[in-house]
Each structure stands twice: as structure tokens, then as C-alpha cells.
Amino acid sequence: MGATKIEFRLRLAIMVAIIALGFWAPWIEAWGIGSRTSLLGWLAHGLARLGLVSFAVAAPLAVSLAALFAALGAILRVWGTAYLGSFTVNNLQMKADAVMADGPYRFVRNPLYLGSWCMFAAMAFLMPVSGALFAMVLLTAFQVRLIVGEEAFLTSQLGASYLAYMHSVPRFIPRLGTGPASAVLERSDRKPQWVHAIIAELCPIGVFFTLAFLSWSYDSRLMLRGILVSFGVSLVARALLVGNAQEPSLSE
């Protein structure tokens, strides 16, 4: 079942609430479920206990994995927003002016949601283990609802052209290569707006820099502050972009 219009309009607030609950994990103190050990620490200690590598090696491996997820999230979000347009990405309403099959949309139908999922996974490394599990399950389910709702909307608005796109490009797992020749996958004259995309996606970029550089201090509070600052700056940047270049595109 797809998300409702209200869920789509409030998608940012809903996802922020889920992430906040993942970090807070109130059930740990309330019911004694789990511990405050972060997923990052749990994974590093787990690898060391299994005897696969020493803790001195396991900790950097865990940090590198978190940074890799953050990098993938930032790349997909910036790349997708550059082609779709920051106005459409941040719009509170679903948009369906034309089929977008340029940039990352030639390889996967939902690069923005995939990028968000990778960013969430990177942040989950800083949550308690139970909080990370809680957050990732709910965020994945919510994103699937958003995607199903958007696909129904786009199919109703764009008809055969979007159905052809759906049959040519996978929903979640990017394909390798350009795939079958299809008119719907022909490149348009549309130019990516990289500057606007970078400004609009300061949050995933900030999460990447936090995991890539601050995580080596192994200071969870410092990393959390880095993520909060990135989120706050991104909200200001998005507000400044409102009303700019309303390019024809799909919805987020």
C-alpha cells in the first residue's frame, strides 16, 4: 500500500522522528531492552571476538563501512537532485511533468530514496544496536510506502511512457550498463544543476564528512553534533532554494 498525500507532505518530519527515536532508544532504560553500545562499537567488538581480525583492525573496518554508506548516500542524493531539480525534490506535493530517465535515473528508478537509505544506514552505525534495528526497519518500510505511492501517482499522470520506464529500469537495485534500447531512455537536453544540488543536499554531504573524518575520534557525541549541524544547515539552505528554478520533473 502506498503512502497517502499527508505522509508524502510530512515525509521529512516522519523520517526525522524515526531517526531521533533510533538515537534515543527509550526502551533501553524503560524496559531494559538492549544497551547503549553503538552499532559501530558492537560491530567492531563482534569482529574481534570472532577472531577474524584484531580490534585494532576491526574498529577502522567498521568506521570505513559506515563512511562508505555515507559516501554512497551523498553521491546518489546529489546526482539525483542535480537532474531532478531541487524544487521538485523538496516539494511538498508529488510532481509528474515528464519521465526522468537521465543521470542516475537511467540505472535505477529511485536514486534519491536509495541515497537516503544509505545515509540512514550510515547514521545507524552511531545508534544503539536496538535503535539502529528499529530505525532501519521503520525507515525502509516508510520509504517503500512512499515509492509505491509515487509510482501509482506517476502511472496515473504519465501513463504508457512511465509504464515503459518501469519495465526498463529497476526499482531498487541499479542495473549495470545502459540496458535495452528504448525511446523512454533517450537522453534529453536537460543539464544537471550541480550547484543547486550540492546546496540542497548539504545534509548527506555533512553526514559523509562526519563519518569520514570525525568518526576516527570514536566520540559518538562529537559525531552526533556533526550530523545535527549538517541537518540544521541543510534546512536553511533548502529554505533559501524555495521558489528557484521550477524545472519539469518527477517527484522525489
Q: Tell me the HSE value of 162 on the side-chain side, using a 13 A CA sphere.
A: 20
Q: With beta carbons less than 8 A apart as the criterion, state whether 61 and 121 touch.
A: no
Angle subtended at Cα 66 by Cα 60 and Cα 71, rounded to the nearest 5 degrees: 120
pLDDT confidence of residue 188: 58
Q: Which of 145, 191, 183 is nearest to 163 (CA)?
A: 183
pLDDT confidence of residue 92: 86
Q: Which of 185, 186, 194, 188 is nearest to 245 (CA)?
A: 194
Three-class SS state of 128: strand
Structural domains of the chain, ranges and CATH numbers in brackets = 5-241 (1.20.120)
Task: Please name the residues in contact with 65: beta carbons below 8 A apart, sequence gap of 6 or more.
Answer: 43, 125
Q: For residues 67 and 78, what is the distance between their CA atoms, to the nearest angstrom?
A: 16
Q: With beta carbons less than 8 A apart as the criterion, state whether 64 and 71 touch.
A: no
pLDDT confidence of residue 12: 96
Q: What is the pLDDT along the chain (252 residues), one digit of tens a residue?
A: 788 989 999 999 999 999 999 999 999 999 999 999 999 999 999 999 999 899 999 999 999 999 999 999 999 999 999 999 988 898 888 988 888 889 999 999 999 999 999 999 999 999 999 999 999 999 999 999 999 999 999 999 999 999 999 999 999 999 876 554 444 555 556 789 999 999 999 999 999 999 999 988 888 899 999 999 999 999 999 888 765 544 444 434
Angle subtended at Cα 14 by Cα 12 and Cα 20, rounded to the nearest 5 degrees: 100
Q: With beta carbons less than 8 A apart as the criterion, state whether 87 and 247 touch.
A: yes
Is the pTM higher than 0.95? The answer reads no
Grid cell locating 74: 551523498
